[in-house]
Each structure stands twice: as structure tokens, then as C-alpha cells.
Structure 1
Amino acid sequence: MVSTHETSDSPRSHPDEGRHERVAWTKGGSNLEVAEILGTAPLRITGDLDTACVDNRIELLVTKRFPRSEVVPAVVPVGFDADAIVSVAIAVGDGPHSPMAVSIGEAIARRLDVPGTVITAYAASDDYEDARYRLQRLTAPTTRLETTAIQTPDPRTITEHLSKDTLLVHGAAGGSFIDRHFTGTGNRLTSRARGCVLVVKDAPRRCFQIAVDPTGHAVAPELLVSDALHVMAYPFAPVVRAHRLLGIVRAHTLVHADAGATVASFVEPVDALERCEAIDGISTVRERLGDGPIPIIDDRGNLTGVILD
């Protein structure tokens, strides 16, 4: 038996949110079409995807299969055809990729100007309140999505409620009740969908995605103290020789130094963040360093960017 509970929120008017600034796509299928919907001037990448994504500070990758690594969030289209889509259904559970599924699904619905619905499943009547809370939590940042909770022992039956002109968006393999049924071996939700599908896989936001060009924020060790104080816009600055990070220098130290001395005499060691680290570590470094350009390095110790906020 399958029963359905409907909860509907009226769409509220809001300014159109911007597309992702840095979207990349790989050759294959409808990847470019999806990338153009989700991004501004999407970039075609080839070769080592991780390196290309990091070097180009990519925020979202549209590709024909998920990379083994999780450097950036990724979207895999299956049979995508924008002209054939009249609605978007977003299947969610408690897995880690459901928030991204909602975000991507809403973006597609908004770009194509079609209705969108977030759908979840629950096994027993006692689980309905949890399902409703899940929908409220996941759709809180959105403005135009309706929600539906379906009672069923097999979440794959969600596809029975969808027409062939409905785009289905769901997360990659996770660990929740709904995700196990959607993505377990031989039981993939994608294979049961009547229409086109987008499968999404989230990843932590990483330092390279928010870092800015270090030009103008770093100083050379040979620079005179007086010149360094003139160019430093923050209480400290990274010290770099031939791209390699040597440490930092603090303005309050230079103020009391001989103006004719060089920065090299006042360099402090610093634990920089690597560019593929998650941004969770920024707050700890900020507490230690204070206000200023936090240095971001590659695996060779070269300064590749700084984080200002």
C-alpha cells in the first residue's frame, strides 16, 4: 500500500538567484546543456579532472560519471532534455547529498520556469512527523518548491508517481533508508525513472574555491621594511620568494624595526592551509593569525592564493 501526504507552500516572489560562477563540464551526453543552465560561461575541462577543477577554482562539475575523489560537487545527467521537462521532482532522504539535490533541483526548475516538488518517503505512520520535518528542513532556504511525503516500504515506488516529462533529481549513494533503496546495487532509482534524471554528489567547500589571487597581498623577503609597511594593507602579509611561501611578517613588528632592514629578518613561520582543505579549518587559523590574508599553498609549498574573509 502506498499513501501520500501533501504539504504545499505557496511560492514567494524573490530576486532571481545568480548561477554558479565557476561551472565545468566534461564531454558527453547533455553535460554542456546542464552546465549552461546551472552556470555562467561554463568551462570545458579534460585530462586530470581534480587538477583542472582546482586550478580553475571550479564550484560545480557536470560530468558523465562521478570522479573517484570528491574535490568539488558533481552532477551526472542521464537522458537530460530541457525541452521535454515540464516539472522537476527532487527525491530526498537523510543522506549527505539531499541538500544539494534540493538546491540543484530548484535551480533547474527556476531556470526552466517549471514547478518543482521535493519528495521523501517514510516507512511507517509513526515516521510521518520525521518525514515532514525533513522536508521543512531541506526546503527552508528555498522559495518556490512544494513538498510531498509518501508512505511506502519501498521508496523506489516514488517513480510511479512521476510522468516521463518530469525531471528527477536525487543524491548519490548515502546511508539513509531512502538512499539505500534509491542507490543500492540493482535497485537504482535512476533505472526506474520514466524521464530524465540528474544525480548529484556534494563535497565540502574547499579553500581553493574562495581564495583570491595573492598578487598585492604578499611581500618579498628582500623588500625594505619601509617599503613593506607602505604596501601592506593588513596587519600581516605572506612572505614569498619565487612563489614559495616562507612565512608571514607582521606590521607591528616592522613598525619598530630599522627602516633600512629587510623583511627577511622578521619572517615568522606559519601553518598555511592547503588549497584542497575544507574551509572548516579557516576559523582556527584566523584566530591564530588575526585579520589579514591567510596563505593558501599547493602540495609543493607554493603560495596559490589568500583568503581575506
Structure 2
Amino acid sequence: MMGHRRHPGEARSNGPELWTVLWTRGDGCEELAGILGKPVFAEGNLREKCIEARADLVVQRRLTSFDLVDSVASNQFDVKQVTSVMAAVGGGPHSLLAGRVAQQVAVALGVPGSLVSATRNAVEDVSIRENLDRIGEHVPALERRLEQVTSAGGLLSTLDDGALLVLGAPGGSWLQRQFFGPGRQLIHAAPGGIVVVRSSPRRCFHAAEPATAIAPWLSVAEAVKLGGPSVVPVAAHGSLVGLFRLETARDAAEGATVQDVMEEPVFLSVDDPVDAASDLGSFFDGAPVPIVDHDGRLIGVLPI
């Protein structure tokens, strides 16, 4: 059964990150994974390994279409060359993760770290500063700076000789787009290398809690005595086979079993986004939603 895990993109305390990090073959991938958290080699099916390890991040040589968990791409990363870390952030969806990754690397290596946004003119300063401060609240170890530049080259000119640059994936803010060309290929380099990050939705396997289920052959009377939430999973030999609703079961005929009154199973898959549970709130009347794997086995529940 699964217990609660935090996700790199969610609000949390500002202490050290407790990430489980899968890594694939590629220069610097294993080393970077070890810096970011507990490294696990992604041998075999990457999706299955992520679920099995309940991975928070995957470190790869380059970003791919794989989006089950947050991704980090290492580009010419060499820990021996890194003397500082800078996260370039804007209003894009990946900026918070960029800041968290930069903070983790800076703290782990014991080098200075900064969180930097760029503006092309003074008119933009207020909104960009507000966004910088919002992200900065989650990464207090990073110094905040707002630079006025007209291109990525202008920002890169502020880096020291051993600076590692952490970027959100292309498609976000103006700042992120300055670093990528056709085919989303990096068109700039940083002295200490570049790490590109991409956020993904939090998945059910990240947040699932242990499930309590009842058997279909249990009598309704005994099931009602057990109490519990208003809707209870019914499982046989580990598989989810139905739902037992306390409210309707009280009117069951004498001697009836759970199987006689149970409803068809409603559930979320282990790799569904956590947000999908919000659509099931009224159906489950506040009870947690069952989570099943791809074989239909009950592996946990997701509180709503």
C-alpha cells in the first residue's frame, strides 16, 4: 500500500527536499540524480519503474515526451566545474521547479545560489518582481535578483566562470524562450552547464494512502458494524470489485451479503492526475477514492 508523498511542484516546508530521483543513462545523469535526492537507476520500463519507486523526478540526457513525473535534463553538467547555481525564472509553469532544483543543487554542493528574473524595460518590473518574490518564498536559500536585459546573452554575461544555469522548459515566459531555437534546441551555453526542467501533474501514486477494504462475501450486517467512511472499497483477492455504500446498505434484506448490494467500482488509475479526484467528490460523499493499478488491483485510496 502507498503512503503520502510530497511532489516537487506542491507547496511544502522550506527544508531539504526529500525526492526519489530516477536516472537514465547519459553523461552527468547519475551524478545529478544523487545531488537532487535518492537516486534510483531507471532500468527497464520507465513508466513502471516510476510508479514502483514512487519517483518524484526523472533525470535524463534530454527532455522527451515522457511526462509521468517532473523531468530534469542534464546538458554538459559537470559537478567539478560548478561554483555557483542560477535559476532563470519567469511566469511559465516550470519556474517553481527550476527554483527548487537550483536550491537543491546549491545547498548540496555548498555553493552560492540565485533566483533571477529578467525584464526588458522598467514598465514590466512590478509584475515580474511579484512573480520572483512568489517563487522565492519557496526557495529561501537562493538570492533574488531582477536583471534588465534584452536577450539571453545579456543574462549569461552576468554569470561567473563556474555557474550552472537551471531553466524551465521552452514554451513558458519570454525569458525561457530566449534560450531555445528551432526544435526547442538550446542555443546558448553556461560555464557550468545547463539543466532544463519540466513540471508534470502530481499523480495518484504520489498521494495514495493505505486502503481498507471489505470482502464481497461479508454479511451486510457485519459490514455496517465495521463502520468507516460512507463509501468503502470491496476487494477480492486484491482486486477492486465494487463499492459498499453504508447509506443504502442499511435497507438490505436480512442475510444479504456485501456482494448483493455493492455498486460497480468507480476508481482512479495509479497514474491519473491527482486533480481528477475533484470530479468524484459528490459521488464518494467525502470518502476517499480507490486507486488501482493497471491490473485492477487495489493499491490505495486518495483522500478528497
TM-score tier by shorter-chain length is 0.7 to 0.9
CA spacing shift, 1:307–1:220, aligned 2, 3 Å: same
Q: Which moves more between the two structures, 164-173 or 241-250?
A: 241-250
User: How far 1:299 sits from its partner (Å)?
Assistant: 4.4
Determine the structure 1 residue equivalent to 2:110: 113
Asked if 1:203 is matched to 2:217, the reply is: no
Determine the structure 2 residue equivalent to 1:169: 166
Asked if 1:306 is matched to 2:301, the reply is: yes
8 Å Cα contact 2:118/2:175 also seen in 1: yes
SS at match of 2:51: helix
Give the Cα–Cα distance (whole angstroms) in 2 for the partners of residues 29 and 223 of structure 1.
56
Q: Which moves more between the two structures, 21-30 or 90-99?
A: 21-30
Give the Cα–Cα distance (whole angstroms) in 2 for the partners of residues 16 and 137 of structure 1.
13
Determine the structure 1 residue equivalent to 2:45: 48
8 Å Cα contact 1:224/1:259 also seen in 2: no
Q: Where has structure 1 moved over 6 Å in runs of 4 or more?
A: none
8 Å Cα contact 1:87/1:114 also seen in 2: yes
Mark the runs of 5 or more structure 1 residues left unpaired by the alignment. Answer: 1-14
Pick one of 100, 111, 129 that aligns with 2:97: 100
Pick one of 96, 120, 124 that aligns with 2:121: 124
User: How far 1:105 sits from its partner (Å)?
Assistant: 0.8
Counterpart code for 2:197: V
Counterpart code for 1:291: G
Q: Deviations over 1:209-231 (max 9, x none)?
A: 111343xx122212233443455
Give the Cα–Cα distance (whole angstroms) in 2 for the partners of residues 120 and 148 of structure 1.
7
Give the Cα–Cα distance (whole angstroms) in 2 for the partners of residues 264 and 85 of structure 1.
62
SS at match of 2:155: helix
Determine the structure 1 residue equivalent to 2:60: 63
**What is the CA RMSD across the aligned residues, in angstroms?**
2.6
Give the Cα–Cα distance (whole angstroms) in 2 for the partners of residues 63 and 196 of structure 1.
14
Determine the structure 1 residue equivalent to 2:145: 148
Pick one of 25, 36, 39 that aligns with 1:38: 36
Give the Cα–Cα distance (whole angstroms) in 2 for the partners of residues 167 and 287 of structure 1.
48
Determine the structure 2 residue equivalent to 1:222: 217
Counterpart code for 2:207: I
CA spacing shift, 1:231–1:23, aligned 2, 3 Å: farther
Q: Provide the identity percentage.
A: 33
Give runs of aligned pairs for residues 280-291 of structure 1, distance below 5 A: 280-291=275-286
Determine the structure 1 residue equivalent to 2:272: 277
Counterpart code for 2:44: G
8 Å Cα contact 1:172/1:183 also seen in 2: no
Give the Cα–Cα distance (whole angstroms) in 2 for the partners of residues 297 and 95 of structure 1.
33
Give the Cα–Cα distance (whole angstroms) in 1 for the partners of residues 34 and 119 of structure 2.
35
8 Å Cα contact 1:97/1:174 also seen in 2: no
8 Å Cα contact 2:21/2:58 also seen in 1: yes
8 Å Cα contact 2:78/2:192 also seen in 1: no
Counterpart code for 2:114: T
Pick one of 129, 154, 157 that aligns with 2:154: 157
8 Å Cα contact 2:167/2:176 also seen in 1: no
User: How far 1:110 sits from its partner (Å)?
Assistant: 2.0
SS at match of 2:244: strand
8 Å Cα contact 1:156/1:189 also seen in 2: no
Give the Cα–Cα distance (whole angstroms) in 2 for the partners of residues 290 and 159 of structure 1.
53
Asked if 1:248 is matched to 2:246, the reply is: no
Q: Which moves more between the two structures, 166-175 or 181-190?
A: 181-190
CA spacing shift, 1:237–1:85, aligned 2, 3 Å: same
Give the Cα–Cα distance (whole angstroms) in 2 for the partners of residues 196 and 177 of structure 1.
21
Counterpart code for 2:235: V
Q: TM-score, normalised by structure 2?
A: 0.85
CA spacing shift, 1:16–1:91, aligned 2, 3 Å: closer
Give the Cα–Cα distance (whole angstroms) in 2 for the partners of residues 53 and 143 of structure 1.
29
Q: Deviations over 1:250-280 (max 9, x none)?
A: 2344455467432101212343222222111
SS at match of 1:238: strand
Give the Cα–Cα distance (whole angstroms) in 2 for the partners of residues 196 and 231 of structure 1.
58
Determine the structure 2 residue equivalent to 1:264: 259
Q: Deviations over 1:128-151 (max 9, x none)?
A: 223222211221222222222222
